[in-house]
Chains A and B, each alone.
Chain A
Amino acid sequence: MKIGVITYPGTLDDRDAQRAIRLAGGTPVPLWHADDDLKKVDAVVLPGGFSYGDYLRCGAIAAQAPATKEVIKLAAQGLPVLGICNGFQILVESHLFRSYALKITTPPGPACLKKMKRF
């Protein structure tokens, strides 16, 4: 099974993701953010790190990348996509979870923060 791993400027864990795919018996396919060719992979992993230094909002600039646009398009057709940490933030900024985000009245993040001690 060919599984693509996208590398953005500032991605840190692409090599780890590729290794994990290899150990799980898959074939990792390195993908480049500026390239809109996802090389016919069966699934895509957006690994963690700090794409574009978390500038503007975490994942916001990476969400505009040609490779991400292609992920959005193919996800709508059923392509499995895994976002880890900053990779998940890129998916959120790609509005792939839009309907879900608008539905929740108490966002999980701030609710958890309320339980924590104040800074």
Chain B
Amino acid sequence: MPKIIVEIMPKQDLLDPQGKAVANALQRSGNKEISAVRIGKRIELHFDRPITDQDMENASAQASSFLSNDVIEDVVAITKED
């Protein structure tokens, strides 16, 4: 199924409390070599037809205005998968 994949991460200079809590839990369970965890999200936009350049442009606009909040998050990748 053709899809556009949008990947979003919390901004580098922002504290990611969720990632920090998970990192602490991993370290408590013996994973001492993991120094940090950051948690973002992957959003898949599915299509029932081939993806056009227009779809990519639209996805890019939605990714920065609605799917992410640019005050606290960065869109790190928008990729197409056929």
Chain A residues in the interface with B (C-beta under 8 A): 56-57, 60, 64, 93, 98, 101-102, 107, 110, 113-114, 118-119
> Which residues of B, 9-60, contact A by the 8 Å Cβ criterion?
14-15, 17, 20-21, 24
Give the 5 A-B residue pairs with the shortest CB-CB distance, closest first: A110-B15, A119-B21, A101-B71, A113-B17, A57-B69
Residues of A contacting B20 with CB < 8 Å? Answer: 118-119
Chain B residues in the interface with A (C-beta under 8 A): 14-15, 17, 20-21, 24, 66-67, 69, 71
A-B contact pairs, 24 of them (CB 8 A): A56-B66, A56-B67, A57-B69, A60-B66, A60-B69, A64-B66, A93-B69, A98-B71, A101-B71, A102-B71, A107-B14, A110-B14, A110-B15, A110-B17, A113-B15, A113-B17, A114-B15, A118-B20, A118-B21, A118-B24, A119-B17, A119-B20, A119-B21, A119-B24
Measured CB to CB, the nearest residue on chain B to A114 is: B15
User: Considering residues B14, B66, B67, which has the most beta carbons from chain A within 10 angstroms of its beta carbon?
Assistant: B66
A contact patch SS: helix
The complex places the Cα of A56 from the Cα of B69 at a distance, in Å, of: 10
